[in-house]
Amino acid sequence: MEDIFSDDNTNGTSYIMHKNADKTWYSNEEAITLDKIMVCPDTIKTGWGMWNGTYNTEYSDKPFIKTPKPDDGYKEAFSMNLYTNDKRQFLWSRFSFGEYQAFKKMAVQFYKDIEANKGKVPVFQFSNKYEVIELKALNINVPLFEFLGWKDRPADFVVPVWEEPLIADGEVSMSQQVAAATQAQIDRQELTDDDIPF
């Protein structure tokens, strides 16, 4: 088995989801296998989400502080970054009932100890077991994770910086990191003048 703490990850971050019907994890519509994962506690968000042609989420300022439901159709939502033992990074950001229950079951196993473990990340093992919740005419398969403890954060478990350029007084400014990434896309001809909305 590979060491999940080494520094040779070249993979970027992808979205991950669990489909209830076939009890399978997916990333970019491709079935994947989960074994051990690390959770970035600094990226945990909780709140509300819905789909109405586009994804809409509203997160509270602090995780696990419940805010009023924004409108009908919203469901409880969460978001957090994961790092797997095969050195892949995922954003698990969902509002399905089963996944939210899995997230809550994980959180109660480590969240109270976050302050005592600054700089470390909680590690979990996906058990390949499920708690079945009967919900109306549907059985919800809640994926179960076993908490393995706290580990030092690997150097390559880097959370992407999603940063918007700052526009003030008609001038656009951005960090050097965002400017360099933007210029790299222009150089590779992935951005053209047609991509600029003004």
- Which of 9-18, 26-35, 76-85, 87-96 is the least confident region? 9-18
- Which of 123-127, 157-161, 177-181 is the least confident region? 177-181
Helix, coil or strand: residue 136 = coil
- In percent, how much of the chain has pLDDT > 90? 62
Tell me the backbone φ, ψ of residue 99, rounded to 5 degrees.
Answer: -70, -35
Decide if pLDDT at 1 tops 50.
Answer: no
What is the C-alpha to C-alpha distance for residues 67 and 77, in angstroms, rounded to an integer? 11
pLDDT at 54: 87
* Alpha-helical runs (H) found in 31-141: 97-110
pLDDT at 190: 52
- Strand partners of residue 76: 48
- Which of 20-24, 107-111, 122-126, 188-192 is the least confident region? 188-192
What CA–CA distances, in Å, run from 103 to 25, 142, 146, 181?
14, 9, 12, 32
Question: Is this prediction's pTM over 0.85?
Answer: no
Helix, coil or strand: residue 197 = coil
Question: Are 47 and 59 within 8 A, CB to CB?
Answer: yes
Helix, coil or strand: residue 100 = helix
